[in-house]
Amino acid sequence: MEEDKKMEEETQSSTSPEVEVEVVKEEVIQITKSDLDEIKDTIKVIKEKNDRLEFAADKARLAQFDSNKEGPKLKTAKISYWNGKPVLGWRLQKDVIEQNMAGILVAHQEMRLYHRSKEDFSDIPYIKFKDLEKKLGDVVKDETDSVSKERILTIKLEDGEEFKISSTFVN
């Protein structure tokens, strides 16, 4: 009987893991009551001044201060898309306006949308040009100024592909 109890104690002690517990001691500082009261009063005065200033402050400037404090944000650009392809540029290909026999003006206008390369393009009627899909969230990785005083942006798409685009074609 006693042997069984000893065996149980041995198995329990061998199966229970030993955990080391670190005790973190806080540093204790002694201060006089008068010094503590002075610190509390100073904090109270500072809080009152802060509340007063925030109440009287311009809310837009406070928001700007908070956003600047967070650090630089990634610039994003709205890139137009047509049939799921990014539009890197466009040009008016055809611009003919005629008057028919009834005296009504009839326009034949066509736009060429350039996608990932100059060989990759779509020709669409000008009237559908306004129907380009706008998308937000393409990250601007770099921004340079060219000799012709035109800003060139390096855009990184969601699929990881990067390309350069004139700021003229960014919405």
pLDDT digits (tens, 9 = 90+) for 68-116: 777 666 677 777 778 878 787 888 888 888 888 898 988 888 888 888 7
Q: Is the dihedral of CA 5, 11, 12, 18 positive or negative?
A: positive
- Mean pLDDT computed over every residue of the chain: 77
If one compares 137 and 82, the residue with the highest pLDDT of the two is: 82
Lowest model confidence (mean pLDDT) among 15-19, 22-26, 70-74, 158-162: 15-19
pLDDT of residue 171: 55
Domain with 137, as residue range(s), is: 76-169
pLDDT band at 37; cut points 50, 70, 90: very high
Asked if residue 25 belongs to a domain, the reply is no
Do 160 and 104 share a structural domain? yes
Of the chain, the percentage scoring pLDDT greater than 90 comes to 11
CA dihedral for 35, 39, 45, 48, sign (positive or negative): negative
Give yes or no: residues 61 and 86 share one domain.
Answer: no
Q: Are residues 93 and 65 in the same domain?
A: no
- Domain end marker among 70, 95, 125: 70
> pTM score, two decimals?
0.47
The yes-or-no verdict on residue 42 having pLDDT over 80 is yes
Q: Are residues 120 and 91 both part of a single domain?
A: yes
**The pLDDT of residue 133 is above 70:** no
Mean pLDDT on 20-25: 75
